[in-house]
């Protein structure tokens, strides 16, 4: 059974800021990259535990998306009882731990 994906308000703000930062509105390549990032997040619904735990908290997981030096971390929590995934935060991989 597929999990429900919930993008939390902080992650929504992160996505909006990333969209502006990469200038996706004016670049087809940037828009395609952004669209594929969102698809990768939505694809978590079938197998959410395939990605490793974060170094900061073993209860959280991280999807790594992109290629060096432009890797982004999608930090999420799996809520098995509700069959849901809560996407908490999206950040550049080079940033310090959150």
| Residue 8 placed within a domain | yes
Residue in 54, 58, 77 with CA at minimum distance from that of residue 3: 77
User: And the tokens for 6?
Assistant: 């919930």
| pLDDT in the model for residue 69 | 81
**Does 11 reside within a domain?**
yes
Residue 98 has pLDDT above 60, yes or no: no
pLDDT at 67: 87
> What pLDDT sits at residue 70?
80
- How do residues 13-72 score in pLDDT, each as one tens digit? 999 999 999 999 999 999 999 999 999 999 999 999 999 999 999 999 999 998 888 899
Residue 87 has pLDDT above 90, yes or no: yes
**Above 60 in pLDDT, residue 8?**
yes
| Segments in 4-92 forming alpha helices (H) | 9-21, 28-42
What CATH number should be reported for the domain holding residue 67? Answer: 3.30.2310.20
98 falls within a domain: no
Give the largest CA-CA distance in the chain. 42
Range of the domain at 17: 4-92
Let me know if residue 64 belongs to a domain: yes
97 assigned to some structural domain: no
pLDDT score for 72: 93
């Amino acid at each position: 059974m597929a999990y429900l994906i919930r993008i939390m308000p902080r992650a929504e703000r992160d996505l909006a800021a990333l969209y502006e930062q990469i200038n996706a509105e004016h670049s087809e390549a940037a828009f395609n990259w952004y669209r594929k990032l969102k698809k990768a997040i939505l694809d978590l619904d079938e197998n959410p535990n395939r990605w490793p735990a974060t170094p900061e908290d073993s209860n959280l997981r991280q999807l790594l998306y992109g290629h060096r030096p432009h890797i982004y971390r999608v930090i999420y929590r799996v809520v098995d009882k509700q069959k849901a995934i809560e996407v908490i935060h999206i950040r550049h991989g080079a940033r310090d731990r959150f």
